[in-house]
């Protein structure tokens, strides 16, 4: 189907819709440590931008374990993250009204995440925003995750919006790079931290509780 000019806002998920980075660290530490992996802060920083499958493979190559398949280990991590999201207070302040305001201005709303697809519904239910999204997609279905632009290209295609008419809200360098390489306008979200800057980003939002920025007018 032909992509027609329109306008859309595509959100990253972890760190943008919910404050979940700590849950990933906790789940990975619990699961991989139980298999004999020696988790270090240095390598955790390195794996932060990877997909769950890539993280699992990374640790397996460093500390091979026996008698349990990589895909099963990956699903154990995902299940633990889902449990933590469902039971802990982690919704980003102001996100629901922010998206509602965008919808009132006729923006299409998308979600493009490196996280596995089965986590997405838990996140959207937690934040009570599932009904606000026109399309959701995960890099799980792409050959490469962020910083590769594939997941953003797929999102734009399914929203039927040309990439040049898409805003992306991201909180990581790899995500910003992915969106820029997809030809989109990128807004860095810093979650109350006014000292964070991303040189590649076109704009910055410090808090979703602030009035909708003029660029969305």
Residues taking part in catalysis = 12, 14
- Calpha distance 39→59 (Å, rounded): 9
- The phi, psi pair for 25, rounded to 5°, reads -60, -45
**Torsion sign, CA atoms 200, 188, 105, 19:** positive
Using alpha carbons, list the distances in angstroms from residue 116 to 2, 23, 137, 138, 145: 28, 14, 9, 6, 11
Nearest CA-CA partner of 110 in 182, 174, 173: 182
The CB density around residue 94, as the number of other CB atoms within 10 Å, is 14
């Amino acid at each position: 189907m032909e992509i027609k000019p329109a306008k859309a806002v595509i959100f990253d998920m972890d760190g943008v819709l919910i404050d979940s980075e700590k849950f990933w660290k906790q789940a990975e530490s619990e699961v991989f440590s139980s298999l004999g992996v020696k988790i270090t802060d240095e390598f955790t920083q390195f794996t932060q931008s990877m997909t769950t499958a890539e993280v699992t493979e990374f640790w397996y190559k460093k500390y091979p374990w026996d008698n349990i398949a990589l895909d099963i280990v990956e699903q154990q991590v995902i299940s633990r993250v889902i449990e933590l999201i469902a039971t802990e207070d982690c919704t980003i302040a102001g996100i629901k009204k922010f998206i509602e305001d965008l919808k009132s201005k006729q923006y299409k709303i998308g979600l493009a995440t490196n996280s596995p697809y089965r986590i997405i519904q838990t996140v959207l239910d937690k934040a009570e925003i599932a009904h606000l999204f026109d399309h959701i997609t995960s890099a799980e279905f792409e050959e490469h995750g962020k910083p590769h632009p594939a997941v953003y290209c797929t999102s734009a295609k399914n929203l039927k919006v040309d990439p040049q008419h898409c805003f992306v809200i991201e909180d990581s360098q790899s995500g910003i790079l992915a969106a820029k390489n997809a030809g989109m306008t990128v807004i860095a979200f810093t979650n109350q931290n006014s000292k964070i800057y991303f040189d590649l980003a076109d704009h910055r939002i410090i808090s979703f509780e602030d009035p909708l920025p003029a660029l969305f007018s």
